Structure 1
Amino acid sequence: MKLVTIDQAGNLHLGVKLERYVLDINEALKAFPEDGLPTDIMSVIGDAGTVIPQLERYIARVVEGASEGSAYLLEESEVTYGPCVTHPGKIICVGLNYRKHAEETNAAIPQYPILFNKFNNTITSHGDDIPLPNRVTSQVDYEAELVIVIGKEAKYVAKEQALSHVLGYCNVNDLSARDLQMRTQQWLLGKSCDKFSPLGPYLVTADEVGDPNQLTIKCTVNGETRQNSHTSDMIFHCDEIVSYISQHMTLSPGDIILTGTPEGVVLGKPVDQRVYLKHGDVVTIEIEKLGALTNRMVDEQL
């Protein structure tokens, strides 16, 4: 199932991407009432084991009775998206987790996952403009990444059981201000500017994705391919990451884990060839089975 957040003038509610349309759950409930059906993405994530089967039955009922032109069937071009996870509890990031990316930046291959965090101010959506904070940085870089969305509490889980705690996956652009990131030994400042973690467009449930370490991953800037890799190049695979983090903290439904970026970032180029993101650049992150996340960079206006 491909879950989405629909943004109607700041009112965020649940949608589901069908083959041709996006099903607006709020509008569908007016035509096909059903008690207890969630109408926001966090309610689905918080009780996925119960809610997903209920949603599946409801969608089948709606599709069977649907008619063309109904208000609850939206063309994707008509949808303004919200973040596919609107209020993550924890945003945990894994640094230097692709072998070729570590090599291109002349970094040692880590022995343990390198963990850092971002905050909710970085969360935004597919299609939203991303402000480049040019007062404080001139080196904003793109990073295509696979996101793990936790759906079931995980504490001290073994690698073999780790993915059973995952609800699904989505795209993120882990935008990074390299000059701020490298200012100190702590990366947080360069990672946590406003809207530096666009998520989406879909939260795709794990059953549709299969093995998360068998997916192509790429990034384009203004249509030019900059990153073109595969999640099998991760140093620590998704099951290892979930298990490792769960040994040290409880993972809860709605927590998200950004799993690192492959080679091809601006930082990995020779210094005289580094051209960082600028006003008007359009960046698309596309991971196999997860759709394409596109955002335009704009100079910050305050």
Structure 2
Amino acid sequence: MKSNRFSILTLLLLVFPLIAIAQDDDSIKTIGDKACECTKEISTDQVRDSIVKKINDCISSQILLDQMTSQFGTPEEIREEVSKLTDNDTVAEIGKNKGKNIVITMDKDFDEIQQYMFENCYAVKVLMSSNNAESKHSMSKNKKALQFYEEGEAHLVREEYDMAIVSFNKAVKKDPKFAFAWDNLGISYRKRGNYKEAIKCYEKSLEVDPTGKMPLQNLGVAYEYLKEYQKSAEVYDRYIIQYPNDPEGYYGAARMYYFAGDYAKGVDKAFKAYLMYKELQSPYISDAQQVISAMYNELKEKGKLDIFLEAAKNNNIEINE
């Protein structure tokens, strides 16, 4: 089984905020800005994995175009050489037939560009926060319920949370199985700091649709605000059962189990989240790295580093101290 190396020096550096990770590198910024334009064409109306893949495709295409533009003279030459590349190429030697023998690194500065876009590209932020998966009861067929729902959304956008609560309450009274209205009612209560009412709304939504991503995630957040970390962790476990291939569940569970004092389970799930983010080439990998770093430092101070090292071993991660 392939081992993943994890440098503690890298971890320690990641404790600090990743400020302007790419802004000192004109090339990374230029590529990131151009790839950002590409992501504006991606629809939010699809599953997260598909969105991430298309964002990464925009980055890879722009990396390739940048390298080839700097080394070939005409667009025709570029198109000719690109047609020879395959999806499995990571480093490709091209241009031999033109006597140039140019080496193209397909993933050059990929992580840095991805992180730059995650911090600076509004389109990417919208895409990564979107969750439009609908079920049978997500929306309502009741015209009055829909009218109140649309009113509530308008209030929510304007941060008029009290008015949003009134509108969404009217919507769910007209249609008690209106899952999205329950979700937004919960969000409105949460924005007003009424976490207990928010929790009731998220649970109502989950009664209607037990697979709802949004209420599951927000339910975990609400319990976290109440400092009920064990309950929050258990919610994220429910999320993992529903969506075992989504690292968001593991990331949330990692933090909550750790805060609840279950260090072994927290670190284990943090490593799982990291590996899944890495596999998906997700911008959220930096969040997982920072959480792992903080856990390492605290467990070292507490004299419990063996918990961290055991979790790393169980996840086939080699720690270089």
TM-score range, shorter chain: under 0.3
Higher helix share: 2
Higher strand share: 1
Greater RCO (CA < 8 Å, at least 6 residues apart) = 1
